[in-house]
Amino acid sequence: MKDLSVGKEGPLIFKFAMPMLLGNVFQQLYNVVDSAIVGNYIGKEALAAVGASFPIIFTLISLIIGIATGSTIVIAQYYGAKDMPKILRAIDTLYIFLFFASIIVSVLGIIFAPQIFRLIKLPEEVLPGAVTYLRIYLAGLVLFFGFNGTSAILRGLGDSKTPLYFLILATIANVIFDFMFVLWFKWGIAGVALATLLSQAGAFITAIIYLNRTHEVINLSWRKLVFDKVIFKQSTRIGFPIGFQQVFVALGMMVMYWLVNPFGTDTAAAYSVVFRIDAFASMPAMMFAAALSTFVGQNLGANKPERVKKGLMATFYTTSALALIVGIIAFSFSRPLMHLFTSDENVIVIGVQYLHIVSFFYITFTAMFTIGAVMRGAGDTLIPMFITFFALWIVRIPVCYYLSLKMGPVGIWWGIPIAWIIGMILSYLYYLTGRWKTKNILLRKN
pLDDT (tens digit, 9 = 90+) per residue, 62-74? Answer: 778 878 877 877 8
Rounded to whole angstroms, the Cα distance separating 57 from 59 reads 5
pLDDT attached to residue 119: 85
- Quote the crossing angle between the two packed helices 127-139 and 84-119, to the nearest 10°: 160
d(CA 340, CA 29): 13
Q: Is the dihedral of CA 65, 66, 67, 70 positive or negative?
A: positive
Taking alpha carbons only, the member of 429, 315, 446, 441 closest to residue 378 is 441
Give the tens place of pLDDT for each residue, 353-385.
Answer: 999 999 999 999 899 989 988 888 887 878 888
Going by C-alpha positions, the residue among 101, 111, 108 that lies closest to residue 131 is 111
**What is the pLDDT, as a whole number, of residue 402?**
95
Residue 437 and residue 377 in contact, taking contact as beta carbons nearer than 8 Å: no
What phi-psi label fits residue 51: left (phi over 0), alpha (psi between -120 and 50 degrees) or beta?
alpha
In this structure, are residues 341 and 273 in contact, taking their beta carbons and an 8 Å threshold?
A: yes
Distance CA 220, CA 198 (A): 21
Q: At 4, which amino acid appears? A: L
Q: Which long-range contacts (CB under 8 A, 24 or more apart) does 257-264 make?
A: 257/52, 257/55, 257/120, 257/121, 257/122, 258/119, 258/120, 258/121, 259/397, 259/400, 259/401, 259/404, 259/412, 260/409, 260/412, 261/52, 261/120, 261/121, 261/122, 261/123, 262/121, 263/408, 263/409, 264/123
Q: Left (φ > 0), alpha (ψ -120 to 50) or beta: where does 434 sit?
A: left
Q: Look at residue 440 in the predicted model and tell me its pLDDT.
A: 60
Q: Which residues of the chain have pLDDT under 70?
A: 1-4, 27, 29-31, 217-218, 439-446
DSSP 391: I
* Model pLDDT, residue 445: 47
pLDDT of residue 444: 52
